Amino acid sequence: MLRLIFALLFSLNLPAQSGNYQIIIHGGAGNGLKAENYSEAQIAAFHHSLRRAISIGDSALQKGTAAIEVVSLVIQQLENDSLFNAGKGAVLTYEGLASLDASIMDGNSGNAGAVAGLSCIKNPITAALAVLNNSPHVLLSGAGADSFSLQNGLTQVDPSYFITQRMKGIHESIKGHQGALDSIRDYKMGTVGCVVRDRLGNIAAGTSTGGMMNKRYGRIGDSPIIGAGTFASNATVGISCTGHGEYFIRHAVAYQISARYEFQGLSSQEAADTLLHEVLKPGAGDGGVIGIDKEGNFIISFNTAGMLRAFQQEGEAVQSYIFGELEK
C-alpha cells in the first residue's frame, strides 16, 4: 500500500512528505551594522520586526500553507514595516520617488516572477507572485508592471505612501549628489528576503527592495533578477541575496551557489561562503545571502560587518541576529 502511495506521488511529480519545515529571512547586510552605531531601542526594534515576520511564516507553515505562499506573506509583512528598504520606507530615487523591485521563485515548479520599477502597488512581492502565476513572462518593469498588477486586482496606493519622513530627510540632505549610494552603509536600511522549505520539501525564495538610495536612469539591481538576487530549486537550494546589486548580477550569485552545491561537492554553506568571500570580496561586492538547502540546512553568509537575519526550524525557538555574532 505504502509503495502504491509513493508510486502515485512520484507519478504526480509531488515530493513525498519530507519532515519538518524551515524558514529564514534577512533584512539587509552592510558595514554600518555594528553594535556601536545603534541604541538599545533600535536593536530591540530590529529583533522585534524580524521575529514578528518569522512568526507570521511559522503560523502559516503550521497550517500547511505552501512555501511559495509563505514567502509572499512574510515579505508582505517586511514591506509594510518601514524599518526596511522595501515597500513603505524604501530608499528614494534621484527624483525623490520610491521605485520598487521584487522577485519570487518556486523551487518545485521552477517557475519565477519578478517586477522592477513599481511605483503604486502596495506590496511588490504580490506583483512578482502574480507574474509567476498569471503571466507567461518572468520579469515585468515600470508602467507595464504597475498596470499588469492593477489588472490582477492587487492593492494600489498613492506613490507618496512609500515615502517616510526619515527617507525624505535623507534625500533632502544628499541633494546634488550624483551617484547611487549604498543604502546600508550610508543609511542602514535593508532589502528584505525570505526562503522557506515546507513539510513537503518544497523550497521557495523571494526578495524585495527599494534598491540603492539616489538611483537614477531606471537603475535596477539584482533583487528582481532571477539567478542573481533570488533562486530556488527543490533539487538544491533556495537563496535570497542582499548587497551591491551590480556585483551580484555579474556573478549570478544566487544561481552560482546552487550550481557549486550541485556540481562541486561542496556543502551549501561552503558554496555560499565561496561566493561571498572568494568570488565577491569586501569592497567589490559587499553583501550577504540567506538560504535553505534540500536537506533543510540553513545557509547564512555575508562579507559585511552585519546582516539582519532570523530563522526557525519547525518546533524550535526563533533565532535573530544583527551583527557579526557567530550563531552556527
Select which of 65, 126, 155, 191 is catalytic: 191
When asked if residue 240 is in the footprint of ligand ASP (CB under 6 A), the reply is no
Shortest CA distance to 200 belongs to which of 48, 327, 61, 26?
A: 61
| Binding residue for ligand ASP, selected from 183, 208, 303, 312, defined by CB under 6 A | 183
Count of positions on this chain that bind ligand ASP (CB under 6 A): 13
DSSP string, 238-302: EEEEEE-HHHHHHTTHHHHHHHHHHHS---HHHHHHHIIIIISBTTBS-EEEEEEETT--EEEEE
| Distance of alpha carbon 213 from alpha carbon 225, whole angstroms | 19
Which stretch in 46-54, 117-125, 162-170, 183-191 sits in contact with ligand ASP by CB under 6 A?
183-191
Beta-sheet strand order (sheet of 139-141): 139-141, 112-118, 100-106, 203-209, 192-197, 22-30, 306-313, 319-321
Task: Name which of 123 and 183 has its Cβ closer to ligand ASP.
Answer: 183
| Binding residue for ligand ASP, selected from 245, 285, 291, 306, defined by CB under 6 A | 245
| Distance of alpha carbon 60 from alpha carbon 83, whole angstroms | 23
Which stretch in 36-44, 111-119, 208-216, 302-310 sits in contact with ligand ASP by CB under 6 A?
208-216
Q: Which residues pair with 284 in a beta bridge?
A: 281
When asked if residue 211 is in the footprint of ligand ASP (CB under 6 A), the reply is yes
CB of 215 to ligand ASP, least distance (A): 8
The one-letter amino acid at 277: H
Pull the grid cell for residue 59.
Answer: 503560523
| Binding residue for ligand ASP, selected from 81, 146, 222, 286, defined by CB under 6 A | 222
Residues in CB range of 21: below 8 A, 6 or more apart: 61, 67, 196, 197, 198, 199, 313, 314
When asked if residue 27 is in the footprint of ligand ASP (CB under 6 A), the reply is no
Which stretch in 112-120, 129-137, 216-224, 267-275 sits in contact with ligand ASP by CB under 6 A?
216-224
When asked if residue 201 is in the footprint of ligand ASP (CB under 6 A), the reply is no
| Binding residue for ligand ASP, selected from 108, 119, 123, 209, defined by CB under 6 A | 209
When asked if residue 223 is in the footprint of ligand ASP (CB under 6 A), the reply is yes
When asked if residue 243 is in the footprint of ligand ASP (CB under 6 A), the reply is yes
Please give the radius of gyration of the chain, using alpha carbons only, rounded to the nearest integer.
19
Provide the 10 A C-beta neighbour count for residue 137.
14
- Whether 191 is catalytic: yes
Contact yes or no for 85/91 (Cβ under 8 A): yes
Pull the grid cell for residue 257.
Answer: 551557489
CB of 281 to ligand ASP, least distance (A): 16
Contact yes or no for 268/256 (Cβ under 8 A): no
CB of 33 to ligand ASP, least distance (A): 11
| Binding residue for ligand ASP, selected from 27, 87, 89, 221, defined by CB under 6 A | 221
Which stretch in 56-64, 145-153, 240-248, 303-311 sits in contact with ligand ASP by CB under 6 A?
240-248
Shortest CA distance to 156 belongs to which of 202, 123, 197, 200?
A: 123
When asked if residue 117 is in the footprint of ligand ASP (CB under 6 A), the reply is no
Q: Interaction with ligand ASP in 73-112: which residues (CB under 6 A)?
A: none
When asked if residue 191 is in the footprint of ligand ASP (CB under 6 A), the reply is yes
Catalytically active residues are 191
Residues that bind ligand ASP (CB under 6 A): 28, 183-184, 191, 209, 211-212, 221-223, 242-243, 245
